[in-house]
Chains A and B, each alone.
Chain A
Amino acid sequence: METGRIPDRERPVMTVQTACMEKKVAGGKFVRISIYTEMGQNKVIISGDFFIHPEEAIFIIENTLSRLSGNEADTEVEHILEKVIAENGAELIGLDIPTITKLYKGALHVESTGAQLVSGSH
């Protein structure tokens, strides 16, 4: 059994992080949205100490954002997320759709303006 073993290797460098934005939701949890470039495609990762039930719904939300063009208005992104979350019966606790949208758009802005990797409060 491998219990207690700390592997020497670290995260494989298959992806390049290009931007991230983070926020502590008032009365909620810490959320960070990172954008990675993977074989020319954007890949959105949402991390933090929030809760989503069922947990696997995070992948649907991330995939939905990864497939967007990035030109959608905030309201349109929110509408798309509301739909996909409702369709999958997911419940967000400690984070909300406006926060996800705002951080996603903020990270895209950092990425598109060619600014240095940004990690700061939003």
Chain B
Amino acid sequence: MWRVLELSSYPAAINMAIDEAIGDGVSCGSSPPTIRFYKWKPGAVSIGYFQCIMDEIDLEACRESGIDYVRRRTGGGAVYHDPDGEITYSIIARERYFSRDIRKSYADICSCIISGLRRNGIDSEFKPINDVLVNGRKISGSAQTRRNGVLTQHGTILYKLNRAVMFSVLRPSKTKLSDKPVRSHEDSVTCVLEEKDVTEQELYTSLLLGFTEGKIWQFGSLSNTEWSRVVKLSKKYSSYEWNFAR
């Protein structure tokens, strides 16, 4: 039976530690397959495992705005996580629950997001490798890792955009736009509120339904063992050695 962890807010290092702790638990059989919804408080920038933090983030702007940062253990790009502007999900289960084809598994999991958005009257489409678009603009991005027989995929669904803050802390290369039909990074993204007038609670409920459709599930919470692991792992995700590794 799937466990669903309800929407909750944590600092960046804790959020990443929770995802990894659950993955560790699933791997050793002590944690159930889990779907988790969360937010970032304070706001934060997460960067992909292969990214260089100095290239991707304006650290001075982060300092001035009190915005945290963390390096993920998944690949993909840098993301600004506004504390009130998005819902992040993670889905963590043994690999056998998913396609062995990594690209297909992205499509399969992102279909839960598309289903959720559709419940809010928003038509979206999967754009390989790992994005969900509305009218050509990105509304959701995801990243996946597979370790010790466990698939962990996390991603964000943008609810409300603050482009000024987003692009004050992110340093996206113009080269990234070279194959996109938009002229600026600001134009390349959209959010739920720019598409439909729905509340964040309505979005959350829709995503919950989208992710749990066809699954046997119940609400749950982290075990004491998982929390102990979170405390240890959060030190890694707070460390200079981890975040500035590249």
Contact = CB atoms under 8 A, between A and B. Distances in A.
Interface of A: 1-7, 9-11, 22-24, 26-30, 32, 45-55, 58, 91, 93-94, 120-121
B26 to A, nearest CB: 17
Contact of B51 (A2, A4, A11, A49): A49
Contacts of A26: 179
| Closest CB pairs A-B (n = 4) | A49-B77, A51-B75, A2-B238, A3-B11
Interface string B1-27: 000000000011110000000000000
B145 A1 contact: no
A2 B234 CA distance: 9
Nearest to B143: A51
- Majority-rule SS of A interface residues: loop
A53 B42 contact: no
Which interface residue of B59, B239, B240 has the most chain A CB atoms within 10 A?
A: B240
B129 A93 contact: yes
Contacts of A53: 102, 145-146
A93 B246 contact: no
Given A11-B244, A22-B175, A54-B146, A6 B54 contact: no
A94 B175 contact: no
Given A5-B238, A50-B75, A24 B175 contact: yes
Nearest to A24: B178
Interface in B110-157: 128-130, 143-147
B36 to A, nearest CB: 18
Contacts of B130: 51
A47 B52 contact: yes
A3 B129 CA distance: 31
Contacts of A91: 102
Nearest to B69: A6
A2 to B, nearest CB: 4
B81 interface: no
B127 to A, nearest CB: 10
Contact of A3 (B52, B73, B173, B234): B234
A121 B50 contact: no
Contacts of B102: 51, 53, 91, 93
Nearest to A54: B147
B129 A29 contact: yes
